[in-house]
Amino acid sequence: MSIEEYIEWYVLYIPAAVYGWGLVVFLLALLLMTVWKGWKGVRYALWLLLVEYTALLLHFTVFIRNATGKHEMILTPFWSYTAIHGGTKVLMQEVLSNVVVFIPIGFLLGIVLRKGGLAGVMAVGIGISVVIELLQFTMMRGFCETDDVIHNAVGCLMGYGVSKVIR
């Protein structure tokens, strides 16, 4: 099965509603794990949520996108700010989206990782972002951009900060 055939199969047979039901399963798991194991159970359930959220990110940023038919890459850091300053206002929404979608990653990692602190959270968050960008490049489903990784890292840092305030 080629990558294109797999993506066709994936989009056809794994609808976005699967993730909605995954959230229902998560909430039930959170309730049961909290009753059964207390705080340790909450951490297990949050790991489950982190995995589901990461799968959701992959779904929307890679798998359901239309193939462009070419490998596209922009490695110049902060190129989007130059474009925004030049009048391409739609990129501002993309920049903000890239920050916001990684806030939950940083938050959840800040709670569930026992060791590593900020460095561990950032390493995992940036790793997830790099995987998304490389998949977009190899599967020809969008631009592989340095800016996206930078903005995702900022979101991850913000989420980690919120987790520290809450703890």
Give residue limits of the domains in the chain. Answer: 3-166
Q: What is the DSSP letter of 37?
A: H
| Two structure tokens written together for 84 | 């925004």
Asked if 27 contacts 108 with a C-beta cutoff of 8 angstroms, the reply is no
Query: Residue 63 and residue 135: Cα distance in Å, rounded?
Result: 9
Query: What residues are paired with 72 via a beta bridge?
Result: 143
pTM of structure: 0.81
Per-residue pLDDT tens over the stretch 88-119: 878 888 899 999 999 999 999 999 997 889 99
Per-residue pLDDT tens over the stretch 42-55: 788 888 889 889 98
